[in-house]
Structure 1
Amino acid sequence: MLAMTLPAARRKSVGLAYVLWALFGLFGLHRLYLGRNLSAAGMAAITVLSVPLIWSGLGLLGFVTTGTWALADAILIPGMAKALNTPVAAAP
């Protein structure tokens, strides 16, 4: 298989992904930007549902979950961007 790179206009920026992660990491906007739509929706749903449940303890568990997930993403962002930016061409 032959790896090829995308044109500059379609490439995803690791820097922008980190900015989105820093500002909106608990909502998963960095994942949405990097094409991980389902997991981004999951992060956003857990965060939004955790707000009214914060006093019951379930909300705290939700924030710990998305916070840990977001911290793990700090390591995973470059790999996610690379996977999007270098699609593998199909063999003829």
Structure 2
Amino acid sequence: MSSGPHRKSVGLAYLLLALFGLFGLHRLYLGRSLSAAGMAAITVLSIPLIWSGLGLLGFVATGTWALADALLIPSMARETKEGMPALA
């Protein structure tokens, strides 16, 4: 495999997930800007609502999403390397 301009590091994606997973920076890095913006919006909107059930629900949603991404990162990076279109 060549290391062209579209090659993404799985290790860096996991580091971004560990540090900023609730904000979706790992998804942004892997070329999934729409879903990254969605994760960030849910997290940011949940911060002022943290003491209500709605804020907690937002964090549970993005936290679950980030945990699922921990399993999906290798395939997302592979799709990015192969030039396959990222849908979300």
TM-score, normalising length: structure 2: 0.89
1:43 corresponds to which residue?
39
Contact 2:10 2:73 in 1 (8 A): yes
Q: Deviations over 1:18-63 (max 9, x none)?
A: 0000000000000000000000000000000000011121000000
Within a 5 Å distance, the mapping from 1:24-39 to structure 2 comes to: 24-39=20-35
**1:50-83 deviation line (CA, Å, top 9, x unaligned):** 0001112100000000000000000000000000
Cα RMSD (Å): 1.4
Asked if residue 63 in structure 1 is aligned to residue 29 in structure 2, the reply is: no
Q: Distance in 2 between matches of 1:87 and 1:6?
A: 12
- 5+ long unaligned stretches in structure 1: none
CA distance in 2, matches of 1:30, 1:87: 18
Q: Runs in 1 of length 4+ with deviation above 6 angstroms? A: none
User: Partners of 1:87 and 1:52 in 2: how far apart?
Assistant: 39
Higher strand share: 1
* Identity %, equivalent residues: 76
- Structure 2: gaps of 5 or more residues: none
Take 1:16 and 1:84, find their aligned partners in 2: how far apart are those partners?
A: 14
Q: Distance in 1 between matches of 2:31 and 2:4?
A: 17
Number of residue pairs matched by the alignment? 84
Out of 6, 10, 31, the position equivalent to 2:6 is 10
| Higher RCO (C-alpha under 8 Å, 6+ residues apart) | 1
